[in-house]
Structure 1
Amino acid sequence: MTIVLDARWINDEMSGIGRSTLGLLTGLAEIGPDQPIIALGGRSDLIDEAVGGLSRAAWLEHVGFPISPTSLRSQWRLPRLLRSLGAALFHSPYVYAPLWRSGGMKIVITVHDLIPERCSGGLAKSRKVQFAPLWRTWCRLQYRRADAIITVSDFSRRELIEYADVAASSITRIHNGVALPPAGDDGRRFRERFGARGVIISYIGRHDPYKNLDALVRAFGRLREMVGGEVTLVIAGRRDPRYPQAESAARELHLNGQVIFTDYLDEATRQSLLRASTVFAFPSRYEGFGLPPLEAMAAGVPVVASNAASLPEVLGDAATLVPPDDTEALARAMATLILDADARRAAIERGRERAARFTWRRCAQEYLALYERVIGV
Structure 2
Amino acid sequence: MSARAPEIVINGRFLMQPVTGVQRVARELVRALDHLIDAEARPVRLRLVCEPGADLADLDLRVTTVERAGGASGHLWEQCVLPRRVRGGHLLCLGNTAPLVALYAAHPTTVMIHDLSYRQFPKAYRRHYRLGHRLMLPFLLRRAHTILTVSETEKAVLGSLRPAALKRIRVTPNGGWRDGAVEARNADVGTGYVLYVGSLSQRKNIHGVLAVAVRLAREDGIATVLVGGTSDILSPIASAIPEDVRHLVRFAGPVTDLLELAELYRNAGCLLFPSLYEASPLPPIEAMSFGCPVVVSAIPAMTERCAAAAIYCDPDDIDDMVTAVRRAIRDRAGIAEQIERAYRHARRMSWRDQAEAVLAALAGQPVARGTLPCEVAQTVREPELAVLH
Over 3 Å counting, the alpha-carbon distance change for 1:242 and 1:137 in structure 2 is closer
For the Cα contact (< 8 Å) 1:222–1:328, is it kept in 2?
no
Answering whether residue 247 of structure 2 is matched by residue 257 of structure 1, we say yes
Q: 2:158 aligns with which of 151, 160, 164?
A: 160
Aligned residues: CA RMSD: 2.7
Structure 1 residue 11: deviation in Å? Answer: 4.9
Over 3 Å counting, the alpha-carbon distance change for 1:177 and 1:169 in structure 2 is same
Structure 2 Cα separation of the partners of residues 341 and 70 of structure 1: 48
Structure 1 Cα separation of the partners of residues 133 and 182 of structure 2: 42
Structure 2 Cα separation of the partners of residues 300 and 63 of structure 1: 40
Match of 2:205 in 1: 212
Structure 1 residue 155: deviation in Å? Answer: 0.7
Q: 2:8 aligns with which of 3, 11, 14?
A: 3
Structure 1 Cα separation of the partners of residues 72 and 305 of structure 2: 31
Unaligned runs of 5+ in 1: 49-53, 188-195
Structure 1 residue 181: deviation in Å? Answer: 6.8
Answering whether residue 110 of structure 2 is matched by residue 108 of structure 1, we say yes
Over 3 Å counting, the alpha-carbon distance change for 1:329 and 1:106 in structure 2 is same
Structure 2 counterpart of 1:113, one-letter code = D
The CA deviation string for residues 210-237 of structure 1, in whole angstroms up to 9 with x for no partner, is 11111112123333465x3x42101111
Structure 1 Cα separation of the partners of residues 265 and 108 of structure 2: 40
Match of 1:293 in 2: 284
Match of 2:85 in 1: 81
Match of 1:36 in 2: 45
Match of 1:190 in 2: none
Structure 2 Cα separation of the partners of residues 322 and 26 of structure 1: 34
1:209-248 to structure 2, matched below 5 A, reads 209-224=202-217, 228=220, 230-239=221-230, 242-245=235-238, 247-248=239-240
For the Cα contact (< 8 Å) 2:197–2:228, is it kept in 1?
yes
Match of 1:136 in 2: 134
For the Cα contact (< 8 Å) 1:181–1:299, is it kept in 2?
no
Structure 2 counterpart of 1:44, one-letter code = L
For the Cα contact (< 8 Å) 1:280–1:303, is it kept in 2?
yes
Q: 2:330 aligns with which of 317, 339, 347?
A: 339
Over 3 Å counting, the alpha-carbon distance change for 1:149 and 1:183 in structure 2 is closer
Match of 1:182 in 2: 181
Structure 2 Cα separation of the partners of residues 185 and 260 of structure 1: 25
Match of 2:23 in 1: 18
Structure 1 residue 352: deviation in Å? Answer: 1.1
Match of 1:359 in 2: 350
Structure 2 Cα separation of the partners of residues 138 and 301 of structure 1: 38
Unaligned runs of 5+ in 2: 1-5, 366-389
The CA deviation string for residues 120-170 of structure 1, in whole angstroms up to 9 with x for no partner, is 1x32634223x3xx5323211122110010110001101111135552111
Structure 2 counterpart of 1:22, one-letter code = R
Structure 1 residue 180: deviation in Å? Answer: 4.5
Structure 1 counterpart of 2:65, one-letter code = E
For the Cα contact (< 8 Å) 2:72–2:81, is it kept in 1?
no
Structure 1 Cα separation of the partners of residues 333 and 324 of structure 2: 14
The CA deviation string for residues 256-284 of structure 1, in whole angstroms up to 9 with x for no partner, is 11110011112221111111111000010
Structure 2 Cα separation of the partners of residues 207 and 68 of structure 1: 30
Structure 1 Cα separation of the partners of residues 281 and 324 of structure 2: 19
Answering whether residue 46 of structure 2 is matched by residue 27 of structure 1, we say no
Over 3 Å counting, the alpha-carbon distance change for 1:349 and 1:7 in structure 2 is farther
| Identical-residue share of aligned pairs (%) | 24
More displaced, 21-30 or 149-158? Answer: 21-30
SS in 2 for 1:19: helix
For the Cα contact (< 8 Å) 2:275–2:315, is it kept in 1?
yes
Structure 2 Cα separation of the partners of residues 270 and 10 of structure 1: 20
Number of residues of Structure 1 aligned to a counterpart in Structure 2: 347
